[in-house]
Amino acid sequence: MTKNILMPKLGLTMTEGEIVEWKVAAGDRVQVGDVLFVIETDKSSNDVEALDAGVIEALLANEGDTIEVGAVVATLVED
Protein backbone atom coordinates (compact mmCIF):
# COMPACT_ATOMS: atom_id res chain seq x y z
CA MET A 1 0.00 0.00 0.00
CA THR A 2 1.33 3.45 -0.92
CA LYS A 3 1.20 6.14 1.76
CA ASN A 4 1.77 9.86 1.39
CA ILE A 5 4.39 11.57 3.53
CA LEU A 6 3.13 15.04 4.40
CA MET A 7 4.70 18.29 5.53
CA PRO A 8 3.88 18.20 9.25
CA LYS A 9 2.52 21.04 11.35
CA LEU A 10 5.04 21.48 14.15
CA GLY A 11 3.56 24.52 15.85
CA LEU A 12 0.29 26.37 16.22
CA THR A 13 1.28 29.13 13.83
CA MET A 14 3.23 27.03 11.30
CA THR A 15 1.77 27.29 7.78
CA GLU A 16 4.79 26.17 5.74
CA GLY A 17 8.29 24.78 6.07
CA GLU A 18 11.40 24.62 3.94
CA ILE A 19 12.98 21.24 3.22
CA VAL A 20 16.63 21.92 3.94
CA GLU A 21 17.92 18.35 3.62
CA TRP A 22 16.64 14.94 2.55
CA LYS A 23 18.12 12.10 4.61
CA VAL A 24 16.67 9.44 2.26
CA ALA A 25 16.43 8.85 -1.48
CA ALA A 26 13.92 7.03 -3.66
CA GLY A 27 14.41 3.30 -3.20
CA ASP A 28 15.69 3.55 0.38
CA ARG A 29 14.15 1.26 3.00
CA VAL A 30 13.10 3.04 6.20
CA GLN A 31 11.92 1.94 9.63
CA VAL A 32 9.57 3.78 11.99
CA GLY A 33 11.57 6.58 13.61
CA ASP A 34 14.17 6.95 10.85
CA VAL A 35 14.80 10.60 9.94
CA LEU A 36 13.40 11.30 6.46
CA PHE A 37 14.13 15.01 6.06
CA VAL A 38 14.99 18.19 7.91
CA ILE A 39 12.68 21.19 7.76
CA GLU A 40 13.25 24.77 8.76
CA THR A 41 10.51 27.12 9.87
CA ASP A 42 10.68 30.74 10.92
CA LYS A 43 11.45 29.52 14.45
CA SER A 44 13.57 26.35 14.27
CA SER A 45 14.94 23.36 12.37
CA ASN A 46 13.40 19.94 12.97
CA ASP A 47 13.92 16.35 11.88
CA VAL A 48 10.87 14.63 10.41
CA GLU A 49 10.74 10.90 11.17
CA ALA A 50 9.06 8.02 9.38
CA LEU A 51 5.70 7.02 10.84
CA ASP A 52 5.60 3.78 8.84
CA ALA A 53 8.14 1.21 7.65
CA GLY A 54 8.64 0.61 3.95
CA VAL A 55 10.47 1.79 0.84
CA ILE A 56 10.58 5.41 -0.30
CA GLU A 57 8.83 5.38 -3.67
CA ALA A 58 9.36 8.99 -4.72
CA LEU A 59 10.49 12.36 -3.40
CA LEU A 60 8.04 15.01 -4.61
CA ALA A 61 9.83 18.10 -3.25
CA ASN A 62 13.40 19.30 -3.55
CA GLU A 63 15.82 20.65 -0.98
CA GLY A 64 15.20 24.38 -0.76
CA ASP A 65 11.48 24.10 -1.56
CA THR A 66 9.03 25.81 0.78
CA ILE A 67 6.02 23.55 1.24
CA GLU A 68 2.61 24.22 2.81
CA VAL A 69 1.61 22.20 5.87
CA GLY A 70 -0.29 19.08 4.79
CA ALA A 71 1.18 18.95 1.28
CA VAL A 72 2.60 15.64 0.04
CA VAL A 73 6.41 15.70 -0.05
CA ALA A 74 7.10 11.99 -0.73
CA THR A 75 5.45 8.60 -1.10
CA LEU A 76 6.24 5.37 0.71
CA VAL A 77 5.31 1.79 -0.13
CA GLU A 78 4.56 0.00 3.15
CA ASP A 79 6.06 -3.38 3.99
For residue range 63-73, list pLDDT tens digits in order: 999 999 999 99
* CB 21 within 8 Å of CB 63: yes
- Assign residue 29 the CATH number of its domain: 2.40.50.100
How confident is residue 53, by pLDDT bands cut at 50, 70 and 90?
A: very high
List, as own/partner pairs, every contact residues 8-16 make where C-beta atoms lie below 8 angstroms and the sequence separation is at least 24, other chains included.
Answer: 8/39, 8/48, 8/69, 9/69, 9/70, 10/39, 10/41, 10/44, 10/46, 11/41, 11/43, 14/41, 14/69, 15/68, 15/69, 16/41, 16/66, 16/67, 16/68, 16/69
Structural domain boundaries enclosing 60: 2-78
pTM: 0.92
- The total of structural domains in the chain comes to 1
For residue range 17-47, list pLDDT tens digits in order: 999 999 999 999 999 999 999 999 887 899 9
